[in-house]
Structure 1
Amino acid sequence: MQQPKGYLNFVLHAHLPFIRHPEYETFLEETWLFEAISETYLPLLRMFDRLDADGIPINISISFSPTLVSMLEDPLLQQRYVTYVEKLIRLGESEVVRTKGDPDFAPLAEMYLDFYSRNLEDFTQKFEMHILRGFEFYFKKGSIELLTAPGTYPFLPFYEQYPSNVAAHVEAAIDTHHRAFGKVPKGMWLPECGYYPGLEEILKDYEIEHFYTSAHGLLFSPDIPVSGVYAPVQTPNGLAVFGRDISSANLVWSSEQGYPGDPVYRDFYRDIGHDLDFDYIKPYLHLEKIRVNTGYKYFAVTGNTPQKRIYRPERAQKKVREHAENFIYHHTQHINKVSPLMNSTPVITCPFSAELFGHWWFEGPQWLEKVLRTVHQTHELEFILPTKFLGNQDQELQTVQPIFSSWGNKGYAEVWLEGSNDWIYRHIHTAIERLQEVIERFPDASGLKERALNQAAREIMMAQSLDWPVIMRSGTAERYAVNRVKEHIANFYRIYDALGQGNLGTEWLTRVEKKHNIFPSLDYRVFASRRLKKQRNHGHPYAIR
Structure 2
Amino acid sequence: MTNASGAGTGRGMFCLVLHSHLPWLANHGRWPVGEEWLYQSWAATYLPVTRVLRTLAAEGRTDLLTLGITPVLAAQLDDPHCLAGMHHWLGNWQLRAHEAAGMDDQARRDLGAREHRLSAAALTDFEERWAHGGSPVLRELVDADAIELLGGPLAHPFQPLLHPRLRRFQLGEGLADAQMRWGTKPSGIWAPECGYTPGMELEYADAGVRHFMVDGPALRGDTSLGRPVRDSDVVAFGRDLQVSYRVWSPKSGYPGHGAYRDFHTYDHDTGLKPSRVTGRTVDSKDKAPYDPELAAAAIDQHVEDFVATVKARIREENDRTGRPSLVVAAFDTELFGHWWFEGPQWLEKVLRALPEAGVDVGTLRQAREKGYVGEPVDLADSSWGSGKDWRVWAGDQVQDLVRLNDEVVQTALDTVDKARAGERAPGRPELRDRVNDQILREAIMTVQSDWAFMVSKDSAAGYARERAHKHAHATREIAEAVASGHRERAQRLADGWNGADGLFPGLDARRLPDEWTGGQA
Alignment match of 2:16 (pick from 4, 10, 16): 10
1:111-141 deviation per Cα after TM superposition (whole angstroms, max 9, x unaligned):
1111111111111123324233222111121
Correspondence for 1:201: 202
Within a 5 Å distance, the mapping from 1:127-526 to structure 2 comes to 127-159=130-162, 162-219=163-220, 228-235=222-229, 236-272=231-267, 274=268, 276=269, 281=270, 294=271, 296-303=272-279, 304-306=281-283, 307-379=286-358, 381-393=359-371, 397-444=374-421, 450-504=433-487, 505=489, 506-526=491-511
Preserved CA contact (<8 Å) 1:123 1:129 = no
Residues 58 and 399 (structure 1), Cα distance of their counterparts in 2 relative to 1, 3 Å cut: closer
Preserved CA contact (<8 Å) 1:38 1:119 = yes
The 10-residue stretch of structure 1 (122-131 or 207-216) with the greater mean CA deviation from structure 2: 122-131
Q: Measure how far apart 1:105 and its partner are.
A: 3.8
Q: CA RMSD in A?
A: 2.2
Residue 443 of structure 1 aligns to a residue whose secondary structure is helix
Letter matched to residue 337 of structure 2: G
Correspondence for 1:535: none
Letter matched to residue 264 of structure 1: A
Letter matched to residue 244 of structure 1: R
1:198-247 deviation per Cα after TM superposition (whole angstroms, max 9, x unaligned):
10111111100100111121118xxxxxxx21111112211111111011
Correspondence for 1:540: none
Q: How many residues are aligned here?
A: 502
Q: Measure how far apart 1:330 and its partner are.
A: 1.4
Q: Measure how far apart 1:156 and its partner are.
A: 1.0
Letter matched to residue 378 of structure 2: Q
Preserved CA contact (<8 Å) 2:19 2:331 = yes
1:29 maps onto 2:8 in alignment: no
Correspondence for 2:80: 75
Q: Measure how far apart 1:343 and its partner are.
A: 4.5
Letter matched to residue 297 of structure 1: K
Preserved CA contact (<8 Å) 2:336 2:343 = yes
Preserved CA contact (<8 Å) 1:92 1:113 = yes
Q: Measure how far apart 1:491 and its partner are.
A: 1.4
Alignment match of 2:47 (pick from 35, 42, 45): 42
CA distance in 2, matches of 1:178, 1:311: 43
Q: Measure how far apart 1:106 and its partner are.
A: 2.9
Residues 531 and 257 (structure 1), Cα distance of their counterparts in 2 relative to 1, 3 Å cut: closer
Correspondence for 2:427: none
CA distance in 2, matches of 1:178, 1:124: 25
Preserved CA contact (<8 Å) 2:276 2:287 = yes
1:477-524 deviation per Cα after TM superposition (whole angstroms, max 9, x unaligned):
222211111111111111221112101313332111121112222222
Residue 82 of structure 1 aligns to a residue whose secondary structure is helix
Letter matched to residue 423 of structure 1: D
Correspondence for 2:114: 111
Q: Measure how far apart 1:427 and its partner are.
A: 2.2
TM-score, with normalisation over the residues of structure 2? 0.91
Identity %: 26
CA distance in 1, matches of 2:104, 2:170: 50
CA distance in 2, matches of 1:178, 1:116: 33
Correspondence for 1:285: none
Letter matched to residue 42 of structure 2: I
1:28-86 deviation per Cα after TM superposition (whole angstroms, max 9, x unaligned):
51011101110001101221233234444452011111110111110011001111111
Correspondence for 1:92: 97
CA distance in 2, matches of 1:129, 1:524: 28
1:242-272 deviation per Cα after TM superposition (whole angstroms, max 9, x unaligned):
1110112211110111010001110000012
CA distance in 2, matches of 1:173, 1:399: 27
Preserved CA contact (<8 Å) 1:439 1:528 = no
CA distance in 2, matches of 1:369, 1:177: 26
Letter matched to residue 148 of structure 2: E
CA distance in 2, matches of 1:135, 1:79: 19
CA distance in 2, matches of 1:298, 1:46: 24
CA distance in 2, matches of 1:445, 1:40: 48
Residue 338 of structure 2 aligns to a residue whose secondary structure is coil
Structure 2 segments unaligned to the other structure (5+ residues): 1-5, 424-429
Q: Measure how far apart 1:525 and its partner are.
A: 4.1
Preserved CA contact (<8 Å) 2:432 2:509 = no
Q: Measure how far apart 1:369 and its partner are.
A: 1.1
Alignment match of 2:67 (pick from 58, 62, 68): 62
